[in-house]
Amino acid sequence: MRIEKLSKGRKKKIVLTITILVLLIGIVYITYSRAKYHVTSNIQIVKGKVSYSLADFNLIAVKIQEKGSDGKGIPGSYKNGDVPVSGYKLQPLSNSNKNTTHCEVNGEVVSGISVEYRGGKVNFKGVTKQGTKCYLYFDVGTSGDPDATLEALHLSKTGDLPSAISTTACDNGTNDESHNKSGSNCTSQDKGIYETEDDFGKTYVFRGTIDNNWVRFADMYWRIIRINGNGTIRMIYSGIDKPSDGRWANQNGGKGAAITTSNSSDPTVQKYNNVASDNTYVGYMNGPVDAMNYGNAHQNEKDSTIKKEIDDWYIGSSGIKEQYRDKIDVETGFCNDRELSPKAHDNWGVAGYGKEKTAYAGYDRTHVSGTTSYDSTQEPTLKCANPTRDLFTGPNAQGTMDSEGNEINGNNKLTYPIGLITLDEAIAAGGLASKINYGCWISTGQYYWTMTPSLAPDATVATVDARSLGIYSVFFTWGVRPVINLKSDVTITGTGTIDFPYEIS
């Protein structure tokens, strides 16, 4: 065999060729990487134990589902893109599957990270390792954005809800049921979908004499109260059978819109609490009786009578069956606002414990400052002032984020993800304290409970009355209408009328 010795010139040519090939491969790789990944300078890492700079967490792969000619997503077909502003939902984060949204380090999927998508922004929690790389998959559909949910319902905003709602023009001074049912008074002039703020950002309230908020879910009828700021849909139970009147739903004096309770003397009603003689009994859950301070009085230690009733219904034979429960959100929660009134009303104080006479913040929002008279303007708030105590969320809720990326954590005290409407939601929907308004969609002809405290120590809670709003002792027996939040990524069909209600799948 003949072996030839390479000349110096040929060596240089080979080395140069190899060098050029390496450079070309590097350029191709960098170009591919830049096309595939997006620098996360606009990605928020919220409250993670980050011991390194943002530069160590700098690659995000964003996969957007492609649309077919019908505007629907094509299964399994994705393209690289930017985080969408609306019209998409983020696939749930997986701790094992690389074919969906996940995070990895050195090619291995990691757990302990959570990600939330809303308003065109992505927020991360629990990023603790250098070199973390997250892959985000977005499917066509409703996202955690209230605008996307409103779009999915084929609805649009009517206007902005005023911070102070006047009641002067809404009292027609008559109990004429047929006149009020016609919707010719009060909120007939401002019926529609109104924007205001809640804990998560903007929320859309269904207000007035509307008839397009009907939902058929879990073999029951519901009505949408509002689209929450995180895109979930809050709705109130409205009966098993289709009501004869698509707007008012008052069969059997309105009792068809309330659940059947365990009250042996009258199963259409239930007490809020079996005892009313202490400040603690205004709570959806109660603390110790005769507590020596406000904080102890409102610890969430024991279920109220109405919470137990709702929980038992939820899992009972007439409640929500197992196959539907994965559609129900556990994070958003329900606010049992036990904040004290910022002002004393006549001889009502602001102690908030034991047998001390106390006015709560909900009372203040419907009454003239310093008096026990109803105000001509009522000021609802859909923000929960003390979420860690009063925002009742599911036991496994991880917390959610507001529009600024701030974390909101509830109390994780719910056994099941179900609660009640609040006084503030009832006002925003068109209900009026002390004013006749049969026309508003929340009026059913029956008195029923909200979960907003009013006065103590004869513990009272706000109610939706037959034709207005009021306050009553928790020992009274009124109707029970549970409220749930549907997840923002449910599939919705229908038009929202009683004949063609929204169907959830």
Which candidate, 153, 304, 163, 306, places its Cα nearest to that of 235? 153
Which candidate, 430, 465, 470, 469, places its Cα nearest to that of 445? 465
Can you tell me the distance from the alpha carbon of 260 to that of 252, in angstroms, rounded to the nearest whole number?
Answer: 13
Can you tell me the distance from the alpha carbon of 193 to that of 207, in angstroms, rounded to the nearest whole number?
Answer: 6
Which pLDDT does position 446 carry in this prediction? 86
Can you tell me the distance from the alpha carbon of 167 to that of 338, in angstroms, rounded to the nearest whole number?
Answer: 25
Label the pairing between strands 201-207 and 220-227: antiparallel
Can you tell me the distance from the alpha carbon of 191 to that of 155, in angstroms, rounded to the nearest whole number?
Answer: 13
User: Does residue 158 have a pLDDT over 60?
Assistant: yes
User: Does residue 118 have a pLDDT over 70?
Assistant: no
Q: 119 pLDDT band (50/70/90 cuts)?
A: low
Can you tell me the distance from the alpha carbon of 233 to that of 489, in angstroms, rounded to the nearest whole number?
Answer: 10
Which pLDDT does position 210 carry in this prediction? 85
The model's pLDDT over 171-187, given as tens digits with 9 standing for 90+, comes to 444 444 443 333 334 44
Burial class (CB in 10 A: 0-12, 13-18, 19+), 86: middle
Question: CB under 8 Å to 87, separation ≥6 — which residues?
Answer: 140, 141, 143, 148, 151
The model's pLDDT over 220-279, given as tens digits with 9 standing for 90+, comes to 999 999 999 989 999 999 999 887 654 444 444 456 789 999 999 999 999 999 999 999
CB 240 within 8 A of CB 217: no
This prediction's pTM: 0.74
Asked if the peptide bond before residue 92 counts as cis, ω within 30 degrees of 0, the response is no
